[in-house]
Structures are given as structure tokens and as C-alpha cells.
A = this chain, B = another copy of it.
Amino acid sequence: VRRVDLLYLGQRIAELARSEITADARGVPTAELVVIWDLLDNGPSGISDIARRTGYVQSRVSTAVAGLIERKWVETRSDPSDGRRVIAFVPDGVAAEARVLESRQHEILQPILLPLPHERGKEILAALDDLVLLFRQRSGETERPGSGEHAKELA
């Protein structure tokens, strides 16, 4: 893989995923959907924790959360042990619906993998899974550990 191929691949993957993501919620900025699903996965979280996990910069997460609050999809409270921190979370009522949306259509890549034998397709998906972990792992390295509330370590 040369650099140009990697750019091509990254752009195609991101484009495909984005279109699938926003297909369920027309008019909602991608970043907001990413944030709400991140909250469902990881439980109530501070802004910078979300930023680290999602790969978005702090300001992007801030505005996304602001948007989600406006939609009544997310609420915030302040961390009792550290008043500066804002803990964002998905209220119970909303969580159910959001989870349904995310659980539909896991295998976006299926149409692309069609020409390949089943077995090979699975290998490729597994490789992508590994890559996701590796990227997240790297972004977590420089951060202080154990900051998340739910902190289920994977590695």
C-alpha cells in the first residue's frame, strides 16, 4: 500500500460509512451520531474522553454535544468530584431507540467483499477490527489512563 492508495482507501471507507450513518438520520451531523453511539458504548463520559475515543478534536465534540442536547438526545451533569468536568449521557428513553439504529446493518462492507470467498471476507473484516483497536490504542497511549467512568479495558 502506497500513500496514495491509503488515502484512497481511507476516503472510500469514510465516505461509505458516513453515508450509511447519516442514512438513518437525515440532517443530523455525522459527529453527533458518532458521539451518541460512543456514549452508548462507554457510558457517561467527559468531553475530552469522548474526543479521545472518537478521534474528534475537543471543540468538535463540544459543539456536537451542544447539538445533541438541543435535540434532547443527550443530557449533561457536572462531575461531583471535579466541578470543571461535564459528564454527558444518554437518557434511558432515548438510549433504546438509538441502539436500534446503530444495531441495524452491521456489515456495510458486505457488498464490496462480495467478489471474494466468504472466508477471505471474514479475514479482511478481522484485519479492520484489529486496525481500529490499534489506532485507538495509539491515541490512548499519551493520555492519562483510567479516566473513563466505565473503563472496560480491552487490551
Q: Which residues of A contact B (CB under 8 A)?
A: 1-18, 20-21, 30, 33-34, 37-38, 54-55, 102, 105-106, 108-109, 111-113, 115-116, 120, 123-125, 127-132, 134-138
Of B10, B15, B105, B123, which is within 8 A of A12 by CB? B10
Question: Given the interface contacts A3-B102, A11-B10, A21-B4, does A120 sit within 8 Å of B130 by beta carbon?
Answer: yes
Bound Cα distance A38, B2 (Å): 12
Can you give 12 A-B contacts (C-beta < 8 A)? Answer: A2-B102, A3-B20, A3-B106, A4-B17, A6-B128, A8-B54, A8-B135, A10-B10, A10-B12, A14-B14, A123-B127, A127-B128
Bound Cα distance A33, B37 (Å): 35
Q: Do A132 and B5 touch (CB < 8 A)?
A: yes
Bound Cα distance A127, B120 (Å): 9
Of B4, B11, B12, which is within 8 A of A38 by CB? B4
Q: Do B21 and A108 touch (CB < 8 A)?
A: no
Q: Do A14 and B10 touch (CB < 8 A)?
A: yes
Of B125, B128, B135, which is within 8 A of A112 by CB? B135
Residues of B within 8 A of A17 (CB): 3-4, 6-7, 10
Question: Given the interface contacts A11-B10, A14-B14, A21-B4, does A131 sit within 8 Å of B106 by beta carbon?
Answer: no
Q: Do A124 and B131 touch (CB < 8 A)?
A: yes
